[in-house]
Amino acid sequence: MLSTTTAARALVALVVASLAAIALTATASGADATTTIRIWTDKDRLAAVTKVANAWAASKGATIEVVQKDFGQIRDNLKTVQSETAPDVIVGAHDWIGELSANGSIVPLFPSAATQKQFPGYALDAFSYGTAIKKLYGAPVALENIALVTNTNLAKVPTTWAQLQRSALATKKKTKAAVGISVQQGSGGDAYHMYPLFAGLGGYIFGKNSAGNLDPSNIGVANPKFLKNPALIDQWNKLGLIRSSVDSSISQDLFLKGKTAFWFTGPWNLDTLKKSGLSFRISGFPQIVAGTKAVPFLGVQGFMVTKFAATHNVESLAKDLVSNYMMQTGPQLELALANTRYPANLNAGKQVKDAQLKAFGLASTGGVPMPNIPQMNSVWGDLGAAWVRSTKGSGSVPARRSFLGASRSIAQKIG
């Protein structure tokens, strides 16, 4: 039989051992939790994101968990997800930034100056937001924009708007097509695809304040410069150069069947173009009026670090993955090409071998990132409708009146 002292010592030793075992288990569990990065991405980028993220993780002793989501649901699901299943990193579009940063769902990033120099200013600006001081909230990875596609069996690649218009109308007369240019609108309008024409006539969405931030009180839908040129829209309508009745499928069908010489479209249709058998060239849009550039809207896709990374004790690792590793040339090239897009990183862009994809990238030069402030939601419908009213053929509203009405409606909605 053990003495009282010996028994007490044994009990103490047992308790200490038990506590040590519990602590060891907790530490191991904590280590697992703090070294797993959960990423939400869409199907198109799943394989590339998995490969790139795991290459980074191998050198960090971390684990990657990639979860496939519908791209359109990532932003909405982030608002309702429970912390234990929430992502640390998401793939997303730059125009989510205003909403997600305002509600605290994503956190600022601080890549080095050397890293930032590898990107055009507009790509970084697209992922930046702030009412006073702008901060970078995402790593831009891929650019997407529409460009001018020319059927070179029907027309030469135009260097002036007059040349484009002549060729378009000549082809229209020859093929008896409904329109001269394949640019989609439809009954609901399409302010995105019409943007090169809008910009080329002097239009803009929002101006900027003295701090360089988008100013929702400065609405450029019917600014004085643009209002010098709406007669051109009326002329295009009269000539049948463009028509609001032409939707996405009609626009594509007309071009692929050789009915129109020109198509406004983006890299998402590059495979379709290559399989079409047509001889085509991709280029930027020619200047419409002096002193303006007919540039496209830019969509920039990239990665963001969520507030949940801090909750999961992986914020530092997640930021290293996104703002350091994913902004490097190699990962940029792989991530962008996985979705047939042009890389945001300038060095990666130089390594793109596909001539047509490079042409889409070149056409993005000087493009305008779609405004990432929440007030943009009040613009799309009215701006698209202004084009529809002005280009529906018989019974169209004069463009000047249509765009002035759209500007007033947008201002009222923004308040």
Q: Are 221 and 410 in contact (CB under 8 A)?
A: yes
Residue 15 pLDDT level (bands cut at 50, 70, 90): very low
Asked if residue 327 has pLDDT above 80, the reply is yes
State residue 142's pLDDT score.
96
For the chain, the three-class secondary structure string (H helix, E strand, C coil) is CCCHHHHHHHHHHHHHHHHHHHHHHHHHHHHHHHCEEEEEECHHHHHHHHHHHHHHHHCCCCEEEEEECCHHHHHHHHHHCCHHHCCCEEEEEHHHHHHHHHCCCECCECCCHHHHCCCCHHHHHHCEECCCCCEECCEEEEEECCEEEEECCCCCCCCCHHHHHHHHHHHHHHHCCCCCEECCCCCCCCCCCCHHHHHHCCCCCEEECCCCCEEEEEECCCCCCHHHCHHHHHHHHHHCCCCCCCCHHHHHHHHHCCCCCEEEECHHHHHHHHHHCCCEEEECCCCCCCCCCCCCEEEEEEEEEECHHHHCCCHHHHHHHHHHHCCCHHHHHHHHHCCCCEECCHHHHHCCCCHHHHHHHHHCCCCEECCCCHHHHHCHHHHHHHHHHHCCCCCCCCHHHHHHHHHHHHHHHHC
State residue 330's pLDDT score.
97
Asked if residue 108 has pLDDT above 50, the reply is yes
Residue labelled with tokens 């173009």: 273
Buried b (16+ CB within 10 A) or exposed e, 45-74: bbebbbebbeebbeeeebebebeebebeeb
- CB-neighbour burial class of residue 392 (10 A; exposed 0-12, middle 13-18, buried 19+): middle
Q: 32-46, 70-84, 108-122, 337-351: which has the minimum mean pLDDT?
A: 32-46
Residue 298 pLDDT level (bands cut at 50, 70, 90): very high
Asked if residue 13 has pLDDT above 80, the reply is no
Asked if residue 45 has pLDDT above 90, the reply is yes
Sequence length of the chain is 415
Q: What's the average model confidence in pLDDT over 325-354?
A: 96
Close Cβ partners of 246 (under 8 Å, ≥ 6 residues apart) = 178, 179, 182, 183, 184, 185, 186, 254
Q: What's the average model confidence in pLDDT over 356-360?
A: 97
Asked if residue 39 has pLDDT above 90, the reply is yes
- With pLDDT > 70 as the criterion, what percentage of the chain qualifies? 92
Mean residue pLDDT across the chain: 92
Residue 414: how many other CB atoms lie within 10 Å: 17
Closest CA to 201 of 170, 231, 162, 165: 231
State residue 132's pLDDT score.
73
Q: How far is 107 from 377, CA to CA, in rounded Å?
A: 22
State residue 174's pLDDT score.
98
State residue 34's pLDDT score.
53
| CA torsion through residues 5, 11, 17, 19, sign | negative
Asked if residue 250 has pLDDT above 70, the reply is yes
- With pLDDT > 90 as the criterion, what percentage of the chain qualifies? 89
pLDDT in tens, 304-326: 999 999 999 999 999 999 999 99
Residue 371 pLDDT level (bands cut at 50, 70, 90): very high
pLDDT in tens, 170-207: 999 999 999 999 999 999 999 999 999 999 999 999 99
Higher pLDDT, 121 or 26: 121
Q: How far is 355 from 282, CA to CA, in rounded Å?
A: 9
State residue 25's pLDDT score.
37
State residue 26's pLDDT score.
35
